[in-house]
Every structure is written in C-alpha cells, then in structure tokens.
Structure 1
C-alpha cells in the first residue's frame, strides 16, 4: 500500500506545509456588513482557506498589492482603510499592518471612506488605461500618499509615466 493510500484510508486531514519564510501572508475576513477585508489588486502565489469566513493569501517578495479593511457596527461604518504595500525580503525594514505577516513597505496608507473611495477610483483609472496596478511605479503610490496627506490632488498615472518607469527599472538592472 502506498503512503498516499494509507493516508487516504485513515481519513485524516493532511496538514498543510508551512509557507516559505520569505512569503508575506495576509489574513482576509469576510463577515457580511460587519468585517470585510479584501485584496483590491496584487498577484498572490498561494492561498489557504481557514474556514468559510477567513482565508490567508501569500505574496512573493517585492510584490505590490492593495489591502482594503472595512468594519461596521449597528450604527454604521467604524473603520475604512486602504494600504498599498510592497512585500519585503527577510531582513529588510518593514512596517506592521494589521492582518499582514510579517509586515511590509507601506507605499500608500489612507483612512476614512472618502479617501479610500478616491484611491479606489485612481486604481480603476489605472486599470482603464490597460495597466495592472501591481506593476505601477512604487514612487507613484508614495506620491499619492504624500499628496493626499497634504490635502492636495495627486497626479494621474499615465501610460507615459509607466513607460518611463519600466525603462528606468530596465536600465537599473
């Protein structure tokens, strides 16, 4: 009898392999109209379903993703947050973010539904010109963060900006 058949015959769950140490994990929870955490964009490399309301997504080092956290009580919204993060390699400096292990390089952080909604509209505009937001220059997300923090209007990300970013990245490698 093979090992797989023996395991199957015992009807015991096979424990999931621990994730590699260099992956960033994001725990997502979805309790309709109470806690709704989701990834707006990003390329996960793995997923683990914890139960019907929770799952963990894993991202490779140097990935960029947007993490939206929203919570409400009987009286309405109590928290709205959107973070655009770059995942880091072991030993790199990082900031802590709730539900993100071990943490990441925060490129953009906004709080409050009006600001979250504005950033979601910016993400939609980037997708509308055919660019995956996870491929956008990290400097653009920092720019958006800084301008919004100062109460100013951020510049739009254009195909020309993206082309220049890709050329700079290629020249630097």
Structure 2
C-alpha cells in the first residue's frame, strides 16, 4: 500500500517516487490543551496526515528544524521542550529523539517552559532580521543551548554573523 503525501504546498503524490522513506520523519500530535507537538521552523519536504490529530512531516538530510513538545495532565504541564535538530542522511550517525525517526543531530535541547519561551523569543528575534531560523549557523544553536544551560543569556545572532556564516559555508563547499 502506498502512502499519499503532500510535498510542501503542491498536489498529492506517491511517497516512494520522492524517496520520503529515506528522510527524517517527525510525528506531530495536536490534542488541544493535552498534547501539542509542532514544528516551529524548518522547511519540510512533505507531510502525511494520519488522522485529525496526527501527521508526519518529512525533512531532507541537512535540513534544520525546531521541534516543540508540550504535554499536560490534570495537575499541570508535564513536558515542555524544544529541540533544534539537523536531519541526517542515510548511513550517518545520529542521536535518537522521541517522535523523530530515525533521529538527527541535536543542536539544541532545552526543557522547562520558561527556558523554552526564551528560545522561542530568540528565534523570533532572528526572524525579525529577515533571517530564516533554519538557515542559522548550527554552531549558534549549540552556543544558545550551552549558555542557557549555564543560566546565562546567549549572544544575539546578527545579520553580520549570518553573513559570515554564509561566506564560511560557501567556502566549505
């Protein structure tokens, strides 16, 4: 049985023809005020809708995305977490992460809603510069993670830093 997917915003096509089976898959769940997993940023290659509350988003190798997980029970929040992950190519080593198959390179992992909110504000600040958060230097996300875990404020990501990253990336090709 083949699965019908929606790549980006175009019409539905067959999964095997695009190689979705070799991509990183992220399962998203939305049960209002109970379990809410969503992609904050990142360019998915397609999606598979499982039912009204679940879908899978596919990412090509090398794509960076922000994955937010929040869950609550009768007593309050039980999980609030953001992971910034780089999708991996088949055969490469990776770190495992719940709801991400097979896994990815974890650039940032922050838990606890106050810190998650700080990361979300940091992402907003980057996007306010006109920079897609998925294109940010991966080392910057590591920097943010380390400084926040140390209880300190990370450096701001600037247009100048981004231009330097783009030049460095171009030279490395």
TM-score where L is the length of structure 2:
0.90
Unaligned runs of 5+ in 1: 1-13
What is aligned with 1:29? 29
Pair 1:88 & 2:49 matched: no
Q: SS at the partner of 2:134?
A: helix
TM-score where L is the length of structure 1:
0.90
Once the two structures are TM-superposed, the CA of residue 149 in structure 1 deviates from its matched residue by 1.4
Once the two structures are TM-superposed, the CA of residue 20 in structure 1 deviates from its matched residue by 3.4
Contact kept, 8 Å, 2:27 with 2:54, in 1: the verdict is yes
Q: SS at the partner of 1:62?
A: coil
Paired with 2:21 and 2:74, the residues of 1 have a C-alpha distance of: 40
Paired with 2:48 and 2:20, the residues of 1 have a C-alpha distance of: 13
Once the two structures are TM-superposed, the CA of residue 90 in structure 1 deviates from its matched residue by 1.2
Pair 1:66 & 2:66 matched: yes
Q: Deviations over 1:81-134 (max 9, x none)?
A: 000000011121111111000000000000000110000000000000110000
Misfit runs of 4+, over 2 Å: 17-22
Unaligned runs of 5+ in 2: 4-14
What is aligned with 2:115? 115
Once the two structures are TM-superposed, the CA of residue 15 in structure 1 deviates from its matched residue by 3.2
Aligned residue pair count = 160
Once the two structures are TM-superposed, the CA of residue 73 in structure 1 deviates from its matched residue by 0.6
Contact kept, 8 Å, 2:69 with 2:80, in 1: the verdict is yes
Q: CA RMSD in A?
A: 1.1
What is aligned with 1:15? 2
Counterparts of residues 143-154 of structure 1 (less than 5 Å): 143-154=143-154
Q: Deviations over 1:39-86 (max 9, x none)?
A: 000000010000000000000000000000000011211110000000
